[in-house]
Amino acid sequence: MIEIIPNQFDFGSLQSRTYTRRVIIHHSASPDVSASVIHDWHRRKDWSGIGYHAVIRADGAVEAGRPLDAVGAHAGSAANRDSIGICLTGNFMMQPPSRSQMDSLPRLLDYLEDRYGTRLEVLRHKDVATTDCPGIHFPWPESSWLPVDSEVNAGLPETVPITWKDSLVSEARACQLITDNHHPDDPAPKWFVLAVGLNIMKGMGKIDAK
Ligand SMILES: [Zn+2]
């Protein structure tokens, strides 16, 4: 069991995250600083408070950031909606993370896996945005530091069965109900529902295809 040191930070308005499928890793690009210092940095940018959900200090201590189930502010609006942001303090453009940090990270991932009841995909910030974060010295691929007995990313993608939701998406794409490769749990705005409905009606010849 990993200890997550709680905080008493004041946050502005937070949205709750309804869906969690991945963890995105960051470095602070700074010296070793507390979650409280990062909270102040982000408040000064007029954010609701620290954008990461957890901070792993150089000594391996894990400090809580934004509440785990709140939408974070760390990887862009699309990725923030379905991910947890973990920040390891330090500048990994200059040097690698500490051994203690890399011991705590997989333990934190195990904790999150238990909490969300599913394996969460592990990505670096640079995998979802144009950035160097978490730096060239952050060890990657994750198989180089995830213990072999850890479930996280184990054997992905071959052993992960295609879920019925994924099959629905591919089927809908194949018959051109949708055009992009949507994530099955993406929310659907009204225009999207209407577009799908109109596509069906065109397909049935009820209205003229334009
Ligand atoms: Zn980052």
Per-residue exposure over 37-61, b if at least 16 CB sit within 10 Å of its own CB, e if not: bbbeebbeeeebbbbbbbbbbbebb
Dist. CA 36–CA 43, nearest whole Å? 10
Q: How far is the CA of 27 from the centre of ligand 1 (A)?
A: 6
As a whole number of angstroms, the distance between CA 67 and CA 54 comes to 9
How many Cα atoms within 13 Å fall on the side-chain side of residue 32? 14
CA atoms within 13 A on the CB side of 69: 4
Cα–ligand 1 centroid distance for 128 (angstroms): 10
For the domain spanning 4-144, the CATH number is: 3.40.80.10
Beta-bridge partner residues of 122: 23
User: Which residues partner with 159 through β-bridges?
Assistant: none
Ligand 1 mean position to 180 CA, how many Å? 27
Q: Distance, CA 193 to ligand 1 centroid (Å)?
A: 34
3-class DSSP state of 25? strand
pLDDT for the residue 135: 97
Q: How far is the CA of 12 from the centre of ligand 1 (A)?
A: 21
Give me the pLDDT at residue 151, please: 53
- Write down the pLDDT at residue 162: 53
How far, in Å, is the centroid of ligand 1 from the Cα of 133? 5
DSSP calls for 136-155: TTS--SGGGTS-TT--TTTT
Spell out the per-residue pLDDT of the chain, length 210, in tens: 799 999 999 999 999 999 999 999 999 999 999 999 999 999 999 999 999 999 999 999 999 999 999 999 999 999 999 999 999 999 999 999 999 999 999 999 999 999 999 889 999 999 999 999 999 999 999 888 887 655 555 444 444 445 666 667 767 777 777 776 677 777 788 888 888 888 888 878 877 755
The domains of the chain are located at 4-144, 164-203
Q: Tell whether pTM > 0.85.
A: no
